[in-house]
Amino acid sequence: MSTGDAVGVAERQLRTIPAQPLLLSAAGLTVLAVLAAQLSTVAFVLAGLALLGLLGVITLRWPRAMLVALVLSPALIDLYAGQRLLPDAAQEVARFFSEGLLMVVALVVATVAARRGTLVAALSHPFSGALAVFLVVTVLSAAVNAVPPQVAATGLIFTLDAAVLFYLPRMVGFTHDQARRTMWAVAMAVVIASLIGIGQAILSPDLLGVTPVTGRSGEGVRFGSLVRDPNILGTMIGMALPFAVFSLVRMPGGRRRWLVAGAVLALLIALLLTYSRGSWLGVAVGFGGVALIIDRRALVVFLAMLVLAYATAVVMPKGVLSGLGQGYDPFATTINRFGAVGEGRDLRTLFIRNGIPILEEHPWLGVGPGRYGGAAASLFRSPIYYEYHTDKLLTNQKTVDNFWLHLTVEGGVVGLLAFLAMIGAAVLTPIRALRGAKGSHFTVPAGVVSATAVVCVATVTTMLLEGNTAAFLFWFLLGLGSLSVPAIRTGAREGSATPSAG
């Protein structure tokens, strides 16, 4: 029996098993993994591998639900649960859980797609051509700069591993209703995280055991909810917010509209409380620019809700349980940050100044993958850092907090253009789907396009597209958006696994 036949048999058998035993088994293995971590890291790894195997089986039964769980796993498991529930030795291993889950889910989904004959169709998209060009440029850059293979491979993996999520929705197949429900599921997960962040501000910064983050420009406490990092939370809000705002404008009146309005308000309040100026910039320029072009009513509603959110953030009680109440004043802290930039003290500005001479000497293909700005360069102690004195700036952090700077210096202008071509190829289909679309047929692709713009702007001040938490969701939404045209125009039947070539 071939692998494809075995998968087909497993699928048919799984349909006869009630959901409850599978879900209870997954919950039991999760508890077992946490308990095993208290004994030894080896026991934790074994329990974790068993859990990943079971989740692979569950993927056969509910592939779309598992894709949602996958894109949320870095925030819930790698960042929160791993640091709150596990001993120090196991935490380092837990950081790779989402990577392991990605490998398992991708393997299962690709195998099923190959058996059904939809794998080639899923891969047949202009994105694949742009990706191939980027890979060729990366290999050339590594060869020209004599980058050791292990360094080049690590740098490439850190930059591109999440991009496989572009293909997974295409392999599984989503109807329009399935895509809409999926985006709402993601949005509501972010709303819940936002409400927890608001709860941190009102009750106590360490609510639910979350370690609070102290700002460097007079912000006091910055709230990051379960993901802990305010910049990551702000970006996730920035990706969910456009879909919610467009839905608020486009949906008919009634109780649901009030619920959506409440969700938008919660997202905006939490976004303000993060003090994440990169996220603010992403939402203002990314979402604001897209809304100005495709739906100005959404922009007006957004601005009105933003004023209400700001007023609420100012007047609502702070630190009721902790006694550490503080005011909310984003203007003074932002002025402080601008002052640091003007005086040449802002670290991100110093990194840009440091990177310009490197790029001037390596303009077209850069210094090679894994050599500048990212986690790989830190891991392998890049010689570029010592040659250009970048190491003097990296005393308290590992990356340059600017994905585009990292990408441009490593891959040069050609590498940057190839990567932008990947995003452009992916976003072209949802842009085309907006033409003449109404209601939720508009909000799904509009949300994808806006989320893409938000991340592309926000990652100027962070390494979002190298970290799993935002990158998983970013590439997944682009993959979901690539199905907008077939789902809307042809009304693909429920459960169809056949994607369009885009």
Displacement of CA 265 from its chain's centroid (Å): 21
Most trustworthy range by pLDDT among 33-47, 328-342, 441-455: 441-455
Give yes or no for residue 68 having a pLDDT over 90: yes
pLDDT category, 228, cuts 50, 70, 90? confident
Counting beta carbons within 10 angstroms of the beta carbon of residue 211, is it exposed (0 to 12), middle (13 to 18) or buried (19 or more)? exposed
Angle of the 176-202 helix axis to the 255-273 helix axis, nearest 10: 50
- The per-residue pLDDT for range 315-344, each reduced to its tens digit, is 999 989 877 666 777 766 666 665 655 556
Lowest mean pLDDT among 124-128, 152-156, 327-331, 412-416: 327-331
Distance CA 131, CA 141 (A): 15
Report DSSP state, residue 226: G
For 159-178, the pLDDT digits (tens) are: 999 999 999 999 999 999 99
Q: Using 50, 70 and 90 to split pLDDT, how confident is the model at 486?
A: very low
Provide φ and ψ at 214, rounded to 5°. Answer: -95, 130
Q: Residue 495 is encoded by which pair of tokens?
A: 């459960």
DSSP per-residue codes, 142-211: HHHTT--HHHHHHHHHHHHGGGGGGHHHHHH---HHHHHHHHHHHHHHHHHHHHHHHHHHHT-TTGGGPP
Cα dihedral: 425, 427, 430, 434 (round 10): -110
- Could you tell me the end-to-end alpha-carbon distance of the chain, in angstroms, rounded to an integer? 34
- What is the pLDDT at residue 252? 85
Instruction: Place 229 in a pLDDT band, splitting at 50, 70 and 90.
Output: confident
d(CA 360, CA 364): 9
- Distance (Å, whole) CA 455 – CA 465: 8
Question: SS3 for 328?
Answer: coil
Of 205 and 167, more confident: 167
The pLDDT of residue 227 is 84
Q: For 356-409, how does the pLDDT look when each residue is reduced to its tens digit (9 = 90+)?
A: 999 999 999 999 999 999 999 999 999 999 999 999 999 989 999 999 999 999
For residue 452, the tally of other CB atoms under 10 A from its CB is 25
Task: Show the CA angle centred on residue 80, arms to residues 77 and 83, nearest 5°.
Answer: 100
Q: Tell me which of 1 and 135 has the higher pLDDT.
A: 135
In the three-class reduction of DSSP (H, G, I as helix; E, B as strand; rest coil), residue 480 is classed as helix
Instruction: Assign 3-state DSSP to the chain and report helix, strand, coil percentages, each to 5.
Output: 75, 0, 25
The tokens describing 391, both together, are 């190491």
User: Cβ of 320: how many Cβ atoms within 10 Å?
Assistant: 12
pLDDT digits (tens, 9 = 90+) for 282-320: 999 999 999 999 999 999 999 999 999 999 999 999 989
The b/e string for 338-368 (b: 16+ C-beta within 10 A; e otherwise) is: eebeeeeebbbebbeebbeebbeebeebbbb
Cα–Cα distance measured from residue 83 to residue 89, given in angstroms and rounded to the nearest whole number: 10
Asked if residues 84 and 66 have their Cβ atoms less than 8 Å apart, the reply is no
60's tokens? 């056969």
Cβ-based burial of 312 (10 A; exposed 0-12, middle 13-18, buried ≥19): middle
Cβ–Cβ < 8 Å for 466, 406: yes
